[in-house]
Structures are given as structure tokens and as C-alpha cells.
Amino acid sequence: MSCSLRWQTFLCLAAVLALAAGCGPGGAPSEKAAGNAATSTSYDDLVALFEAWREFERPEMVYGVPDYASGAMAAQHRELAGYQQRLAAIDPSGWPVSQQIDHHLVRAEMNGLDFDQRVRRPWARNPAFYTTIFPSQSDVPAHEGPVIHGWIDLWTYEYPLSEADAAELAARIGTVAALLEQARGNLVEDARDLWVMGIRAMKGQSTDLQNFASRVSGQSDELDAAIVAAREATDAFIDWLENEADSKTGPSGVGADNYTWYLQNVHLVPYTWEQQETLMLRELVRSHASLRLEENRNRKLPEQTRIASAEAYDRRFNDAVTEYMKFLEEEEIISVRDYEDAALRAPNRAFQLRRWTARVLLRGQLS
């Protein structure tokens, strides 16, 4: 799920009385999943179920490659109902609020997998789902959006690499080719925008592998060879995606009804799509009004000169980020995490700054 645990926890608190327990489509549980048919009031039973759930949610790894083939995903979806029934059989009404929130979070995770199976299906619709190389930390505690199991966070290793880490990375990066070969058989649904964006994501992975090869060159022959093979497989996958792109004409969106279900049952936000749209339009009008007031206030000042180059833009942007972070710290608005500062200086800076500013405002309201 794409929102942080901290954000989800707050939303659960807000929604605990407003939302009814959600459940995916019915179905008979398998023997593996149906172990607790009687009603329970034990928090320990929830903990045990959660541990079993997390194990179940991960796809089977076959020679280091997660199995997202249609048969494996269909089997997972069939067994999901059994886990939802086990959760529904645990009554948290007498627990402390913090433990009731845990019950809601487990329900939200199960609903998230149900939504992925029924609607989003990233393994069959979204080529970017098969991106596995992440050279830098995300600006949220976990990865955003649908991320494949088995991803490789290069930023978590110490450099220069130890012999053990080099061997581990060689083995993990060595699975990229097999994963992308599997992806060609899995990506059978028609979602043009996701397909086109997937090409861009894979080109980014190719560049990341090239940069990583330069960074660790000569530290391990096995790792050097694995990176070369992974990049060749990524480039071949890009060629395949580009060759297939013209045949992709279908929509990528999930629709307003599905989006509302996802908001209320996965993110536990008690709004509909239409209500969210109204809130966003209200903020847009407020932003335009603020802009016009600022323009009027500065109307007698000379017009600003345009930024002449990308280098000048980067310099001014990073200076602004530094000033912004200093302001947040000195005024004790929030504590700025190192990864958040670094994320604002990554590519797509302007977009990330807007998104992160909104997150700052929300966090300030929730503190």
C-alpha cells in the first residue's frame, strides 16, 4: 500500500467508528487458511494470523524470482477469502484502541491484496511493476505504489562492498533476466498509459544499472557480470515493450467506483471520489486566490528574469530547498528526516516538492 504506516494509523483512528469492516468477495477457504473457524477475542490470535498472512501475501520465490504467473495469482486470490474469514472471526471490540487499530490495519492489508487481485493487477497490466533496482531511498518510509517482491535497495548497502554483500547483490541482480522473461508472459492486459510509463521506468532501470556498474566496477567479477546481464535483459525488455506499444489502446484508470472502494477499504479514508475531487478543487481555488494576492502585492516590483539553464535551475532550486529545510527546523514546525531532504534534491524535484509540502502540511495538522 502506498501510504505510510503512520498515516494509515491516524486514518484508522479517524475511521474506526465510521467504517464498517470491509471484506472481499466470498469464497470457500482452503484447508491451509481455514484453521480458526471459532470466534476469538485474543490479540495473540491476531498476531499469529498477521504473521501467517504476511507469509501468504508474498508470492512463491522460484530460484530467487517471485512467481506472478497467472496460475499462481489465481491460487492466491482463491485462498485470500479464507484469511479474511479468519480475521472476521476475531472480535476486537473489548481491546484497547491501539490493538483495535492493528485489527483495522490487517483488514486494510487484506483488502489491498483483494483490490490488487480484482482491479489493479499490476503483474498483468503494468510493466513498471517489474522494476527491481532502486539506487536511492524513497521519500516515504516504504516504497510507493505497487512494488514487486524481491526489489533491490542499493542504497541500503555500505560501499565499497564487502565480499559477502557483493556476492549477495550478484545473486539478486542475477535474477533480473529471468524475472523480465516471466514478465513477457504475465503482461497480457491492455492498459496503454501504464505500458508507456513502464517503458520510461525500465529505461530508468537501465540507466541505474549503468551507473551502478561504474560505482562497483572491479569489486567482484561475479557482480560485474550480473549487472551487465541485468542491463542487457532490461534493454531487451524495453525493445519488446516498445514493439508491443502500438497494440495497447485500453484505459489504465480503475474508475471512480473502484477508487472509492480503495479509499474506504484500503486507505481507510471515509470519502468518496466525488468528495475528494471537491476538496481538491477547493484547494485549487484557494491556491489561485493566494497567487493573485501575491502577484498584486509585488505588482510594482520589476518582473523576474527567466532561469537561463538547467544548471542555474538546479542551483536555485537546491538553495531554496536548503532555505526551506532551515526554516522548518528553526521554527520547530517538524523534524526533517535526512531521506526527506535528499529526496527533494532528486529528479522530478518540482513535483516532489509540491507533493512533500502537502505531506508536511498534513503532518503538521496531525502532530
Residue 154, C-alpha cell as written in the block: 542499493
Pairing of β 61-62 and β 65-66 = antiparallel
CB-CB contact of 86 with 23 (8 Å): no
Neighbours of 89 (CB within 10 A): 15
DSSP state of 40: B
pLDDT in tens, the chain (367 residues): 333 333 444 344 444 333 333 333 333 333 344 444 458 899 999 999 999 999 999 999 999 999 999 999 999 999 999 999 999 999 999 999 999 999 999 999 999 999 999 999 999 999 999 999 999 888 777 787 788 999 999 999 999 999 999 999 999 999 999 999 999 999 999 999 999 999 999 999 999 999 999 999 999 999 999 999 999 999 999 999 999 999 999 999 999 999 999 999 999 999 999 999 999 999 999 999 999 999 999 999 998 888 888 888 888 888 888 898 889 888 988 887 776 777 677 554 444 455 555 555 554 444 3
Please give the Cα distance from 294 to 290 (Å, whole number): 6
**What are the Cα distances from residue 22, in Å, to 12, 58, 83, 110, 364?**
13, 22, 13, 9, 30
Q: What is the model's pLDDT at position 6?
A: 38
ω before 160 within 30° of 0 (cis)? yes
Domain ranges, ordered by start, for the chain: 5-120, 125-247, 309-367
- Specify the 3-state DSSP secondary structure of 335: coil
Report, in angstroms and rounded to the nearest whole number, the Rg of the chain calculated over CA atoms: 23
CB-CB contact of 208 with 235 (8 Å): no
- Could you tell me which of 213, 215, 186 has the C-alpha nearest to residue 198? 186
The structure's pTM equals 0.74
Neighbours of 176 (CB within 10 A): 27
Q: What is the model's pLDDT at position 145?
A: 78
Q: What is the model's pLDDT at position 4?
A: 38
Annotate 207-217 with b (16+ C-beta within 10 A) or e (fewer).
ebbeebbeebe
The C-alpha cell 509585488 sits at 298
